[in-house]
A and B are shown apart, each in its own frame.
Chain A
């Protein structure tokens, strides 16, 4: 456990080292009887920013879930009310894969700070990142996004992940700004429609549609519907693509995709009903929890040219 006001990266790194040494020793003692073991796993540094008012427990659960697919040094920065507050602690997340005898453990650093100390966090987090591995920033906090400290925080990451569908989060213009600044950017609103896009690509693999209408819930199209519209326009330049709202209040999410006169994809919880003429078939589409979306987004740590092209199309 670090002190409450002055935090040095070296001290946190030392605490991490001690954590592993102690875990290794206690495991060794246990190992005598159980023949198990402990494996330290790390494939990236994941830096996430959460608002105090946000449910930090939920974020913790998401990160714990992510560790299995993306073992990382997780640095969680909790921004709290008040002034002049800064503290840090280190701990490990461990799990035992089914059927295995060896625990897999990832390290986690939790930094709690007040808004006025947010700019200092960049100087702490930078040295804590694992060398030579990707550094990904998950920006869930609207306050952090709008703060002046963001200019110091963004350079810490190779990739910045936002969710434009969250209230108060980055909009298309701000994401475009990240791309212009040379960052790799990811938007969970785009990730959310991956399976739907894949299904559309599959059903259109052997046809060239003349018209596609994306119907959505509500009066204004949400980011997912707009991404879908832009992607279809970019991918099928000879096809007339349009958006159509239900006119009633709603989320702005897509509900039905109508392709020419004979093909519809009607979205439903967990999947979609595909109708091609008289053939009806259910296609499973994962519901897309934050954990699933992040799992997918963390797998991509290079520039996603399809996403960038679509975003440019929207912001042009």
Chain B
């Protein structure tokens, strides 16, 4: 009965159990995403959501809270009260402490009732939107009550961070895998759910003209930037435990890099694509301690300006230790030891309180082999071609090349050929959480990270974390509203490169 040309993908019947149902992520992202899926008719008629947290609450109170959250945080969509009433029939709530084995037994009874009433076919997706320290405990609690198996399928979704270093990631994986099979564990990296990140694969492997150039012969270097214009905005206490390297590079940006640099998969299936991503991550050259200083830069913002507004430094944020050595900026040069990328630096940078919010991948090609217009243009023709894959805010792709200026003489000028997602596809892009939730419910793990990928990315950043832990940084070393510390410019200068100003 399927009609792939016309039908949107729809979720099979199931119950989604959200641990941390009273938390920010549930209110801001998960519930609006589920409502939006319902709005688009993607959810099965008897779809159910079970909220779990410690707070005592009735079903109606939970529904009221979620109603207000969805209304407030729903983006690019109208809120339909009639649809909400129907959607809310499937929302129920169970109060319980994750440390109390009885709470899992209670949840089991609740799920059995839902399976009967809502015809969910005993399919259950557990979504852990809690403190990372509770992931393993909840998985063990579920397994202890026998909720990791049933007549239908069982899956568990966990949010990053997957551990705080290589060892803890291994311990977490070990505990999770005692309760659920690896194929049932969905580690969410919302960056991979972004349309433009997925489009990297379409761009590379759906077109014949780019892939032949996608190697060390034609590409000079790659810059991946994820800049935030805001500071930590009240998340100082959390952020000072994480830092930019852990919070962004270890997970999101290394996954983006893997998507840019991986080999073509033999098919667009979950394991085939993830195998290639994992292979790329494992091919990242691991730095020796004596190489870290030259290839990784830590930064922390001090007072400065964001536009016309004066902003304080990281150390003045609430909850931040005045002597904090937390990096709010990190830039790393990664090298990939394989035939395709040998010798091509991948520069990754991310930071808070930068001049603008932008995420992009800039692929700089080698210059033309013969500078035949040098005399006429005083060397201007040596401007290299650049391909920019813009992830946010204006998603799209630009190709920079030189063109002759009109008139006599051979004056060349760089020009840009732009593809803009907004103008070519006027339709609304689903949020990353809509995409990823529907994937998890449908059993498609392509955009989720796997244990070996998590461990490979920790392996790549662990030497940097270890080395930085031994250093006493002279923070702050960049002013809010600037593009980061000078040392990051020097890092690229050693390769003869400069950071692109997005």
Contact = CB atoms under 8 A, between A and B. Distances in A.
The interface size bin for chain B is 35 or more
The interface size bin for chain A is 35 or more
Interface stretch (A27-35, A82-90, A118-126, A199-207): A199-207
Given A69-B427, A194-B7, A284-B39, A100 B2 contact: no
Nearest to A278: B117
Contact of B1 (A195, A236, A295): A236
B41 interface: yes
Given A205-B12, A279-B119, A39 B3 contact: no
A297 B141 CA distance: 49
Interface string A269-304: 000001011010111110000000001100010101
Contacts of A281: 45-46, 86, 89
A143 interface: no
A194 B46 contact: no
A306 B45 CA distance: 25
B427 A203 contact: no
Contacts of A13: none
Contacts of B85: 282
A179 interface: no
A90 B10 CA distance: 43
A97 interface: yes
Contacts of B167: none
Nearest to B117: A279
B39 A194 contact: no
Interface in B410-469: 418, 420, 422-427
A188 to B, nearest CB: 13
A210 interface: no
A306 B89 contact: no
Nearest to A283: B41
A78 interface: no
B6 interface: yes
A283 B422 contact: no
A149 interface: no
Given A39-B418, A43-B424, A276-B46, A201 B2 contact: yes
A157 interface: no
A202 B13 CA distance: 9
Interface string B65-88: 000000000000000101101100
B44 to A, nearest CB: 6
B83 A282 contact: yes
B422 A198 contact: no
A104 interface: yes
B45 A274 contact: yes
Nearest to A281: B45
B121 interface: yes
Contacts of B117: 279
A239 B399 CA distance: 54
B8 interface: yes
B5 A300 contact: yes
Contacts of A282: 82-83, 85-86
A17 B118 CA distance: 60
A71 B424 contact: yes
A209 B420 CA distance: 46
A5 to B, nearest CB: 36
B24 interface: no
B6 A300 contact: yes
Nearest to A71: B423
Given A281-B45, A282-B83, A284-B80, A104 B1 contact: no
A70 interface: yes
A283 B423 contact: no
Contact of B423 (A104, A195, A295): A104
A221 to B, nearest CB: 20
A194 B45 contact: no
Nearest to B46: A279
A202 B8 contact: no
Nearest to A97: B422
B420 A39 contact: yes
Contacts of B1: 197, 200-201, 204-205, 235-236
Interface string B10-54: 101100000000000000000000000011110011100000000
Nearest to B13: A206
Interface in A55-105: 67-71, 97, 100, 104
B45 A276 contact: yes
Contact of B426 (A70, A195, A198): A70
B86 A198 contact: no
B121 A206 contact: yes
A178 interface: no
B438 to A, nearest CB: 13
Given A39-B418, A200-B1, A283 B45 contact: yes
Nearest to A70: B426
B416 to A, nearest CB: 11
Contacts of B86: 281-282
A203 B121 CA distance: 12
Interface string A219-238: 00000000000000001100
B394 interface: yes
B5 A41 contact: no
Given A100-B394, A276-B119, A279-B118, A202 B426 contact: no
25 contacts: A41-B420, A41-B424, A69-B427, A71-B423, A71-B424, A100-B394, A197-B7, A198-B3, A198-B10, A198-B41, A201-B1, A201-B3, A202-B44, A202-B45, A203-B45, A205-B1, A274-B45, A277-B119, A283-B41, A284-B41, A284-B83, A304-B5, A305-B5, A306-B3, A306-B5
Given A100-B422, A104-B420, A202-B10, 9 more contacts: A68-B426, A191-B6, A198-B3, A201-B1, A202-B45, A279-B46, A279-B119, A281-B46, A282-B82
Interface of A: 39, 41, 43, 67-71, 97, 100, 104, 191, 194-195, 197-206, 235-236, 274, 276-277, 279, 281-285, 295-296, 300, 302, 304-306
Return the 10 tightest CB-CB contacts between A and B, nearest first.
A68-B426, A69-B426, A282-B86, A281-B45, A201-B1, A41-B423, A104-B423, A198-B7, A235-B1, A274-B45
